């Protein structure tokens, strides 16, 4: 098989599925299946129709033999996935054109691509992708930097040492400072959601229930990210290294966790890795809750990832946190 990657419009990935009972022996199926930028949904536990409605897959493909020995590649799509349909069709047209040049250089086209809009769901707008990413961006940045600088400064000025010598239990000292940070950051999330919803039309699938679910996810994410802030404040020898340590943790996630652009734009070998990053879990859960109206229970895998990270970082932090 020959794959002319330079003919594809964008080096990103498109999630697709094939209709049940499709003929898997024909040449069109075999070539589409092996195009690197097409990711085939073959998880039997997932309902392809539901995935299509929610925009998680771009199209469901059917390959129909024609009377003239040609084929029609029919795409079933939804309004939730319309942003990728044009590019997907370009990829398919390019692959089919390559096949035609190889097998039928002087004949009429032996395959065409057509589209059927199966589901008229709410269109997936840019703000529906962008705002959850910005919430995750805000939470991880303010939690890590805020806690790291605060507790390093308190320790460096001997305030923590003085607090430690008072009758107040030391866990109450940590808890008091942490609650203040949590409240401030949750207020920031409220402002972001309200601004996005009323100004840009950010979609809250179930209204106030969705809003509350997003706040709960934000609270869990804050607890985890603050753990990294505590850890950084404990291992930092001076204030100058705090931004370095913080960015080593945060910066890769900004680009790997679907904050500014879809994770499908990243190479396939990274996909199994990036789904376990804490910021990926936050972004994915936020988007599922906000646009799809998913419950917190349905986001159990993302919440579990956050809880595992939280337990891990607080165990490590307990060994490095210093009062003076």
- Confidence category of residue 7, pLDDT binned at 50, 70, 90: very low
Tell me the per-residue pLDDT of 113-160, one tens digit each, with 9 for 90 and over: 776 665 555 666 788 889 999 999 999 999 999 888 888 887 777 766
Residue entry with tokens 């040449």: 27
For the cut 50, the answer to whether the pLDDT of residue 3 exceeds it is: no
CA–chain centroid gap for 241, Å, is 29
> 135 and 251 in one domain?
yes
Q: What is the pLDDT of residue 318?
A: 84
Range of the domain at 105: 5-119
Is residue 214 domain-shared with residue 281, that is, in the same domain?
A: yes
The domain boundary residue, chosen from 119, 152, 168: 119
- pLDDT tens for 234-279 read 888 888 899 999 999 999 999 899 898 878 778 878 888 898 999 9
Q: Which position has the higher pLDDT, 190 or 116?
A: 190
Residues 274 and 210 in one domain: yes
Residue pLDDT, tens place only, 282-305:
999 999 899 878 889 989 999 999
* Residue 172 and residue 212 in one domain: yes
- Do 138 and 165 sit in the same domain of this protein? yes
pLDDT of 323 over the 70 cut: no
- Give the N- to C-terminal CA distance of the chain in Å, as an integer: 65
Domains in the chain, number = 2
Q: Are residue 161 and residue 310 in the same domain, yes or no?
A: yes
Going from the C-alpha of 127 to that of each of 26, 132, 203, 244, 291, the distances in angstroms are 40, 8, 8, 31, 10
Share of the chain above pLDDT 90, in %: 33
Residue at which a domain ends, from 94, 119, 144: 119
pLDDT tens figures, 106-118: 555 556 777 666 5
235 and 307, same domain (yes or no): yes
Q: What is the CATH number of the domain that holds 64?
A: 3.40.1710
| Domain co-membership, 115 together with 130 | no
Q: Are 99 and 111 in contact (CB under 8 A)?
A: yes
Of 59, 87, 119, the domain-final residue = 119
- Residues 151 and 271 grouped into a single domain: yes
């Amino acid at each position: 098989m020959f794959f002319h990657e330079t003919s594809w419009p964008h080096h990103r990935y498109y999630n697709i599925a094939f209709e049940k009972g499709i003929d898997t022996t024909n040449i069109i199926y075999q070539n589409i299946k092996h195009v690197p930028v097409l990711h085939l949904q073959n998880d039997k536990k997932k309902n392809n129709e539901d995935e299509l409605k929610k925009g998680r897959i771009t199209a469901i493909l059917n390959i129909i033999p024609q009377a003239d020995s040609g084929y029609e590649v029919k795409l079933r799509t939804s309004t939730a996935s319309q942003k990728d349909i044009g590019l997907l069709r370009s990829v398919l047209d390019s692959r089919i054109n390559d096949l035609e040049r190889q097998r039928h250089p002087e004949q009429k086209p032996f395959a065409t691509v057509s589209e059927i809009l199966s589901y008229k769901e709410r269109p997936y707008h840019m703000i529906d992708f962008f705002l959850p990413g910005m919430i995750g961006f805000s939470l991880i940045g303010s939690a890590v930097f805020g806690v790291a600088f605060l507790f390093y400064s308190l320790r460096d000025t001997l305030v923590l040492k003085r607090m430690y010598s008072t009758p107040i239990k030391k866990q109450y000292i940590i808890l008091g400072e942490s609650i203040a940070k949590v409240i401030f950051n949750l207020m920031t999330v409220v402002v972001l959601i309200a601004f996005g919803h009323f100004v840009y039309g950010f979609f809250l699938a179930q209204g106030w229930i969705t809003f509350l679910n997003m706040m709960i996810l934000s609270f869990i994410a804050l607890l985890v990210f603050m753990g990294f802030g505590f850890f950084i404040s404990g291992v930092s020898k001076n204030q100058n290294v705090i931004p370095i340590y913080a960015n080593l943790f945060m910066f890769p996630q900004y680009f790997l966790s679907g904050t500014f652009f879809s994770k499908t734009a990243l190479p396939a070998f990274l996909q199994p890795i990036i789904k376990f990053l804490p910021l990926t879990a936050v972004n994915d859960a936020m988007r599922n809750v906000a646009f799809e109206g998913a419950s917190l229970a349905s986001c159990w895998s993302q919440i579990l990832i956050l809880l595992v990270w939280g337990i891990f970082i607080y165990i490590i932090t307990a060994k490095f946190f210093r009062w003076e």
